Amino acid sequence: MSILREKLENSNDTVFTAEFPSIDGGGMASVARDAARLAPWFDAVNATDNPAAHAHTSNTTTAIAMKMHGLEPIMQVVCRDKNRLAIQSDLMGGALHGIENVSLLTGDDVTAGDEPEARRVFDIDSIQAINITRIMMGGKYLSGRKINPAPNFYIGAVENAAAPPFDYRIERALKKHRAGASFLQLQICYHPDRLEAFCKGVAKIAPNLKLIPTVVLVKSARPLSFMNDKVAGIDVPNQTVARVAAAADQAKEAYDLTLELARHALTLPGVRGLHVTDFRHDDSLNSFMHDLGQKPRN
C-alpha cells in the first residue's frame, strides 16, 4: 500500500505533497538532486503531465524515475493531450512499474502553453477518466476486455474551490468521489472564505473524501500579481497583493501570508494535508515545514 494511501486511510496524520520539477534534460543526476531535496518533507510528490500545456518529460517516466530515487509519486494523467486509449495505457504503464497513486485531471487548455497551435484532445473529461480508472481496478478496460490481475490504484483528482460557480464545485467534488476519487488536491486559493465554504460543504456530503489544499511559497508581490493575471482560475485579491507589496520586507511578508493560509487550511473539516508549491527555491521550505510542526522524514 502506498504511503499516501496508508496515511490518509489508516491514520490521522497530516500528509504533505509537492510537485516534482518538470524535467527538461539534466538526466538522472537532476532527478536524484530534486528527490533528495523533497524526500525529507513529503509523503508523495506529483509527477506532472505536461503542466500548463508545456511539453516536458512524460508523466509515466518521471514517476518511474522518482520511484527509483525513493520518492513516492502521484502520477498525474491529463485529458488534454491523450485520448481514452492513451490514458488507459498511461495507467497500465504506471501499474506495471508499481505506481499506485494516480490523479486524473482535465488539464489547462493548449492556449495556456507555448504551443497554442496544437490540437486539443479532450476525448474524455476528468470525471470520465476517474471512472475509467475505477473500472480498470475492477479488472477490465473501458471496452470490457479483461485485465488480469487488475491494477491497484489509489485515485485522486483536483478541484478549484475558488473558481465559480462556487456551490457547484462542492457537488462536483462529490461527483468525482462517486466516480472513484479518494482524495482531492485543491488548486491554489487566496480566498480563505471560499476554501472554508468548500471544505465545509464537501465534508457534509462526502465525509470520506480527503482534501489537500495548496499553498505557495513566494518571495515577493510579483508572483502574486503574475498568478492573478496569467493563471486561469486563480484570483489573488488586490488587498493581498498590496499587503505584500507594501511591506518593508516582502520576502518575510509573503512567507507569513503563506503560513497564515496554511494554518487556516489545516483547521478546516475534511482537510487531511497540504500541497506545497515552492516558487522561492531558497531555504524557506525547511523553515516553513518546521513552523508547521513537521520533522524531516528520515
Distance CA 93, CA 87 (A): 10
Closer residue to another protein, CB minimum distance, 8 or 129:
129
Min dist. Cβ of residue 107 to another protein (A): 8
Min dist. Cβ of residue 10 to another protein (A): 22
Distance CA 46, CA 243 (A): 31
Place of cell 482524495: 183
Closer residue to another protein, CB minimum distance, 65 or 102:
102
What is the three-class DSSP state of 92?
helix
Closer residue to another protein, CB minimum distance, 32 or 121:
121
C-alpha cell at 156: 485522486
Q: Which residues bind another protein (CB under 8 A)?
A: 79-80, 84, 106, 108-109, 111-112, 120, 122-128, 131, 134-135, 140-145, 158-160, 163-165, 167-168, 171-172, 174-175, 178-180, 187, 232-233, 235
Closer residue to another protein, CB minimum distance, 180 or 213:
180
Distant-in-sequence, close-in-space partners of 226: CB < 8 Å, separation ≥ 6: none
Longest dimension (CA), the chain: 63
Min dist. Cβ of residue 74 to another protein (A): 17
Min dist. Cβ of residue 127 to another protein (A): 4
Min dist. Cβ of residue 149 to another protein (A): 16
Strand order from edge to edge, sheet including 15-19: 210-212, 183-186, 154-159, 101-105, 73-78, 44-47, 15-19, 273-278, 214-217
Query: What region does 268 belong to: left with phi over 0, alpha with psi -120 to 50, or beta?
Result: beta
Q: Is the dihedral of CA 158, 161, 163, 168 positive or negative?
A: positive
Across the chain, where does the E strand assignment appear?
A: 15-19, 44-47, 73-78, 101-105, 154-159, 183-186, 210-212, 214-217, 273-278
Nearest to 54 by CA among 87, 33, 17, 24: 24
Closer residue to another protein, CB minimum distance, 180 or 255:
180
Min dist. Cβ of residue 172 to another protein (A): 5
Closer residue to another protein, CB minimum distance, 64 or 162:
162
Closer residue to another protein, CB minimum distance, 67 or 80:
80
Distance CA 69, CA 58 (A): 17
Min dist. Cβ of residue 32 to another protein (A): 32
